[in-house]
Every structure is written in C-alpha cells, then in structure tokens.
Structure 1
Amino acid sequence: MTGKLIAVANMKGGVGKTTTVIMLAEALAADGARVLVVDLDPQASVSVCLAGEALLAELIAHGRTLEAYLALKLIAREKPLLQPRIRAGVSVTMHRGEPLALSLLPAGPHLRLVEREILYALTARNLSMRGIDAKLRKIFTDEFRPLAQAYDYVLFDCAPGLSPMTEVAIRGADLVLVASIPDYLSTYGLDAFVQIVWEQGRDEDGSAPRRPPHVLVTRFQQQVRQHQHILARLEAEAASDDAGFRLLATRIPQAASLAEALMPRAVPPTFSAKYGPHVSGILRPLIGEVKEIFRAA
C-alpha cells in the first residue's frame, strides 16, 4: 500500500493553512504514521515552524530546498536529486519518549522568484503554457508521487492563490483540504476555486483532480454571528446534490493555545502537552475523518 498525498490550499491567505498542516502532520505522526511535509509557500512558514530559523537558513545556504531543486532542474537543466533535500527528524515534539517521525522538504523566500524564472526560461524555449503545465506535472508524477512509497502521508502546504507548483500539487494530490475561516471574505472565492481547478481546469485528457475538495473550517468562533451564518450556508451547499465540495465535521477553533503551539520552545514539548485538550477534541476527530475519506474511496 502506498501513502497518500494531501494538499492544503486556499485562494486566500491568512486562513490557517500552515497551522492546519502542522497540526495534521504531527497528529498523524503521533498516530504512528511516517509523514513528510512539503512547503510550496514562498513565505516558508511551515519550514521555519518545523525546522527553526537557524536550520532553515543553513538549508537555504546549502541549496537543500525546493526552489534550489526546481532551479537546477528546469532553469539550469541539470539532473538534481530530490531526496537529499528532504530533512528527516525535524519535529522536536516528543511522543512516547521519541521525537515524532516527521520529515520536511523546505522552501525559502526565493521560491516565488524561481517559479517566475521557470516560466521565463521555458517560454524562451518555445514551450506554450500547456507545455509548461505538462512539464511540471511530469516532474510531480516522476519525483513527488513516488515519495508516497516512503511515507504514509505527504502533506503539501500550498501557497495562496494558484502558483505553478501549487496548482500541480492540487491536481495531483489524493485529497485537497481547503482551509477556510467561516467569514465572507475567506469563503468568497471558494466557488471560483472549485470551478477553476475541478471544472474548467481539466487536463488535456479530460481528467480532473481525483475527488472534490473537502473544506475544513478554521479559526471558528461559535459566538460570532457571521461565523454561524456562513457555516450554515457551507453545510447547506455541501449537502446539495450538485455540491462542488464536501465539508468536514471537525471545526478548528480560534484559540491562542493553537497559535502558541507553533512557536519555538526552549524545552521540547510532548505532543499531549503541546496541544492539550485539542488532542481529543480536534486532532483525533480530524485524522479520523481524513482516514475515513480514503477508506471510502
């Protein structure tokens, strides 16, 4: 059995994607899974949260990042290896006396520049946009999908919007989680996102992503009326016969303790101490839902 590829995405930034990726990755690792996190966001938030500033700076300086690999592969036309850029054992969170089995393919702030230069370089070689898309999809198929042989779950922290690598990851993932605050602005582009990727953005062979996206409500505040109304609307839309998305039952609350869980600590925390009551109230139900999605496929 091969592992599963999960892309966490949203057209909008600031909706809790990185928090979701880290929580889900550590919860799956605490459940016994081998987990790899791939950072596709030039903000490098998930990289700095997992690796720390000093280690991430070292990895960037030595070319051990995603953008360094892409630059060599597509701009310099060399034959770099992806595996040496994966850093094992990045989590300092302890569980049952051992660090969580969590690995990272980091990104740095130059990822956006590299993606732009890739478009320039491939266009100069007379590749059309369809040709560039096909080339990126082939890299994903040849280099990223095989990672599922070594890991139970590969999580992609996607950039806001639809950057070249983000779109490739979304289209190639086994599951897309759309992290969204239940407010007007965060959900405004949801329908457009579904139409662009799942309805209008089919491959040349007519295929679309493997299954509809699943929306995960984040930063939920039960006492906020707008959150209640938007959540009710999402539930109604997801329950309709022609729904373009599914809605997870788990709600990630707006909680200071979850934000603090991402901060570096002088003493390595245990998984249970780091997340406290959220382990049983949020994380276990969340990974249970994710597993059920794959079981039902």
Structure 2
Amino acid sequence: MTGKLVAVANMKGGVGKTTSVVMLADALAAGGASVLVIDLDPQASASVCFAGDGILAEMITGGRTLDYYLGLRIVDRDKAALPDFIRDYVSSTTHLGEPLPISLLASGPSLRIVEREIIYALTKRKYSMHAIEGHLWKLFQEDFAPLREQYGYVLFDCAPGISPMTEVAIRASDLVVVACISDFLSTYGLKAFYETIWGVGSASESMLAPKRPPHVLITRWQNTKQQATTYATLQESAAAEGARFRLFKTRVPQSAALANALTLEYQTFANKYRDQTRDLIGEVITPVVTELKEALDGA
C-alpha cells in the first residue's frame, strides 16, 4: 500500500481547516481507508476533536505528542521512533458497527516553542537557514514519508501561516488543500501563500515545490452577495490560462452539523453529519472526497 499525503492549510486562521480535516478523515475512513491525522497546529484543535481532552492530556503528560518527538529527535538527538508517538483507533465514531480506522499524531501546546528551540539548537551547530531547512526536509523524508506505507491517507492539519514543519509538510504532500471562506479577508493571502510555496525561487536547494498546484476548498458557504461575488472571481482565476490554483466544485456550507462534528457527542458517522436541511454526506462530503481522489489521481 502506498498512501497519499494531503496538507490542509491557509495563511489565515478561522477558515475551517480543522473542520475540513475532521470531515475528510471521517469520510475516507468510513469508505474503508486507514487514515492518519498529523496535527501541526499548537492549538491542537484536531487532536481534541479526535482524542478528547482526557486522552489528549494523557498523551501530553506521557510525552507522546509531535512537539515532544521533535524535541527528542532534533534538539536532544535521540533516536526516537515516530510510530511510538501515534495513537491508533483514536476516534470514538463508528460506521457499520466498527470504529473508524483513524490514527492520530497529536500536537501539544509546546510545538511552537520546540520549533524555535530547533532553530536555536541547529544554529549553535553552525547550520545556515538553508541547512536547517534541509535538515527538517531530511527528517521528514526519513521519518514521516514512510508512513504512507502504513496508511491510505496521511492528513496534515496545518497551523495558520507557515512554520518550519508546516512548510516541509506542504512541500512534501501529494496535494495541498487550501480551506478558504469566500470573502475578501480569507482569500487575500492566497496569492502570498502560492508565491511563498510555489513561486519561482521559493524552494531552497534542499526542498522541492509541491507536486500539484493548491486546490481551494470553499468552506462556510452561505450564498450571500459578497460570498457569491468573491466565488465568481475565484472561479474566473482558477479557469484562466496558467492558473495558480484549482477550485473544488463542491462548496462546504455553513452548517451546525459540521460545527457539532468537532465534538465527541455523536457515536456514528451518519449521526455525526446529520443535518435537518440537507443531505451533508450525499450532497457535500462524498462529492468533496471524490474530487480529492480525482485530484490525487491527476484527473
């Protein structure tokens, strides 16, 4: 099995990245795929959504989170094994009587501090910034990339902006999904995001540009005049010759069911995404997953 690496990102926060990661992980797992979620956000929202406060607290105090692993591996030069930090079958959601096959590499509140300590530690070892990038890229290729042999999909929930580990994950992924509200503020940073990662000269000698252009997924869609106008502009830009990004045809609506899906209240996949006004699974989630797979297959 050779799985796919998918990064869900945006320069801006509050645009539905974690909601999109949870939705995609649940749907892919309900479809029979084994899914690993790697939380790159120190807010640990995805970690809380899947593990809950109790299990996450246990992982943090037990030193079984991403920040602890990176500190051991790079700062302390410990030969820590990444699979030891992954919690399998972490989701409480079931489908057809079976727990969803979702695993989690949780984030912790010290992730940003550890990333800064990595920069300090490598600088003291006389690493240049390019060499630091190369070191992180090498670590990713050695430790993270092989996870595609164990899971059908590895989803990265990226923090807002571009941290060192986020950039490495984005560049190494098979597909980058940019979760984005269809408004001016949320789309404003799209150009800067593209030029930072995909632009000419953006990649250092040690890292490559992503394999495909970013695919923008519209979230929290409400069909207001402002959102419709912005969406029309995005459609025009995505369809233009030499377009810098692709656009998912399916838009994820503003939905109480999707917001509630971030809690641990619902036992089954069907109940988790039950909406009183629309068939979320049939009209939204399944089409998004289909488009995701088509993009990964190069369609």
SS in 1 for 2:103: strand
Query: In 1, are the aligned partners of 2:15 and 2:219 still within 8 Å (CA)?
Result: yes
The CA deviation at 1:262 is: 1.0
Partner of residue 289, structure 1: 291
Q: How do 1:1-297 and structure 2 match up within 5 A? A: 1-199=1-199, 200-204=201-205, 207-222=208-223, 224-265=224-265, 268-276=266-274, 277-296=279-298
SS in 2 for 1:155: strand
Name the CA distance, whole Å, in 1 between partners of 2:44 and 2:87. 15
SS in 2 for 1:251: coil
The CA deviation at 1:203 is: 3.3
Q: Which amino acid aligns with 2:285?
A: L
Name the CA distance, whole Å, in 1 between partners of 2:107 and 2:30. 24
Name the CA distance, whole Å, in 1 between partners of 2:207 and 2:67. 30
Q: Deviations over 1:265-292 (max 9, x none)?
A: 2xx5211111122111111101100111
Name the CA distance, whole Å, in 2 between partners of 1:208 and 1:160. 19
SS in 2 for 1:52: helix
Number of equivalences:
294
The CA deviation at 1:242 is: 1.5
Residues 136 and 27 (structure 1 numbering): CA distance in 2 closer, same or farther, change over 3 Å? Answer: same
Deviates more, 1:35-44 or 1:194-203: 194-203
Name the CA distance, whole Å, in 2 between partners of 1:286 and 1:31. 13
Name the CA distance, whole Å, in 2 between partners of 1:205 and 1:35. 28
Q: Which amino acid aligns with 2:48?
A: V
The CA deviation at 1:294 is: 2.0
Name the CA distance, whole Å, in 1 between partners of 2:162 and 2:183. 21
Name the CA distance, whole Å, in 2 between partners of 1:17 and 1:291. 18
SS in 1 for 2:247: strand
Q: Deviations over 1:137-167 (max 9, x none)?
A: 0111011110000000000000100001000
Name the CA distance, whole Å, in 2 between partners of 1:256 and 1:175. 28
Name the CA distance, whole Å, in 2 between partners of 1:10 and 1:249. 18
| TM-score normalized by the length of structure 1 | 0.97
Residues 79 and 158 (structure 1 numbering): CA distance in 2 closer, same or farther, change over 3 Å? Answer: same
SS in 2 for 1:279: helix
The CA deviation at 1:207 is: 3.8
The CA deviation at 1:295 is: 2.2
Which consecutive unaligned segments of at least 5 residues does structure 2 have?
Answer: none
Q: Which amino acid aligns with 1:214?
A: H
The CA deviation at 1:77 is: 1.2
The CA deviation at 1:206 is: 8.1
SS in 1 for 2:159: coil
Query: In 1, are the aligned partners of 2:35 and 2:101 still within 8 Å (CA)?
Result: yes
| TM-score normalized by the length of structure 2 | 0.96
Name the CA distance, whole Å, in 1 between partners of 2:174 and 2:124. 33
Q: Deviations over 1:191-213 (max 9, x none)?
A: 11101100142231784211100
SS in 1 for 2:250: strand
Query: In 1, are the aligned partners of 2:137 and 2:206 still within 8 Å (CA)?
Result: no
The CA deviation at 1:124 is: 1.0
Q: Deviations over 1:178-197 (max 9, x none)?
A: 00000000000101110110
